[in-house]
């Protein structure tokens, strides 16, 4: 399962997107696009993520994912930055177990979403902000990056602190989960091995060991 697929499941449930089939992603809305999808003009830099603003149901009908839509987080983590963007605010969430930073843009952040806040799977991050008159229709921007970040790093779109942006639509989240589970299991085994190097305070016969 990709990160986008995991996110979509949660967005569909939170927003009652019954009959969801696929996102409508015109040229310019995807990762690394060089043109804006709303006016065809060149972006100042390649698109850092994906823009979600419209979806198609199983009957082929198109539905808006616009202002007021709920943005929820598929991975637990900690908010490390909330910064303004050209349509609202962007929320950066570090998920160190996965070595990932989740970024949700063009939001009105939910209450309590501030640097240092703990986020669980499915937590409401904010709602899609309304249009500002610059020509771009309301939408949820989703970015994903590898690396680490902390609340006092001061990261924002102009200061990504060496993070590497990756395609949310192609990032194998299932593989990442397996990797995390393996690391946790290995840490557990390492602790068990370390503990076994020390003698018990009680012998197997129930008698206290000498010394």
Q: With contact defined as beta carbons under 8 Å apart, do 43 and 35 qualify?
A: yes
DSSP string, 104-161: EEEEEEPTT-STT-EE-TT-EEEEEPPP-SSSPPP-EEEEEEES---TTS--BTTB-T
Q: What tens digit of pLDDT does each residue of 29-49 get?
A: 999 999 999 999 999 999 999
Q: What tens digit of pLDDT does each residue of 143-158 get?
A: 999 999 999 999 999 9
DSSP state of 43: P
Q: What tens digit of pLDDT does each residue of 157-197 get?
A: 999 988 999 999 999 987 665 555 555 555 545 555 455 44
Q: Is 150 exposed, middle or buried (0-12, 13-18, 19+ CB in 10 A)?
A: middle
What does the block give as tokens for 43? 């972006």
CA 43 to chain centre: 23
State whether residue 20 is helix, strand or coil.
strand
Q: Domains along the chain? A: 3-175 (2.70.70.10)
Mean pLDDT of 66-95: 97
Edge-first strand listing for the sheet containing 62-64:
20-23, 54-57, 62-64
Q: Is the pTM here over 0.75, yes or no?
A: yes
């Amino acid at each position: 399962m990709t990160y986008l697929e995991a996110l979509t499941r949660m967005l569909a449930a939170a927003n009652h997107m019954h009959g969801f089939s696929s996102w409508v992603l015109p040229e310019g809305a995807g990762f690394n696009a060089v043109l804006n999808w709303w006016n065809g003009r060149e972006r100042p830099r390649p698109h850092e993520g994906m823009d979600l603003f419209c979806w198609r149901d199983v009957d082929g009908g198109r539905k808006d994912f616009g202002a007021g839509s709920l943005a929820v987080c598929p991975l637990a983590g900690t908010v490390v930055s909330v910064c303004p963007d050209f349509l609202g605010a962007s929320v950066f969430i570090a998920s160190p177990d996965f070595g990932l930073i989740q970024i949700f843009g063009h939001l009105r952040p939910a209450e309590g979403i501030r640097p240092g806040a703990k986020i669980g799977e499915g937590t409401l991050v904010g709602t899609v902000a309304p249009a500002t008159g610059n020509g771009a229709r309301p939408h949820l921007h989703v970015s994903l990056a590898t690396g680490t970040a902390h609340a006092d790093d001061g990261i924002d779109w102009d200061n990504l602190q060496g993070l590497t942006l990756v395609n949310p639509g192609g990032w194998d989240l299932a593989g990442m989960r397996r990797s995390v589970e393996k690391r946790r299991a290995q840490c557990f085994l390492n602790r068990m091995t370390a503990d076994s190097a020390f003698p018990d305070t009680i012998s197997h016969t129930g008698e206290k060991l000498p010394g």
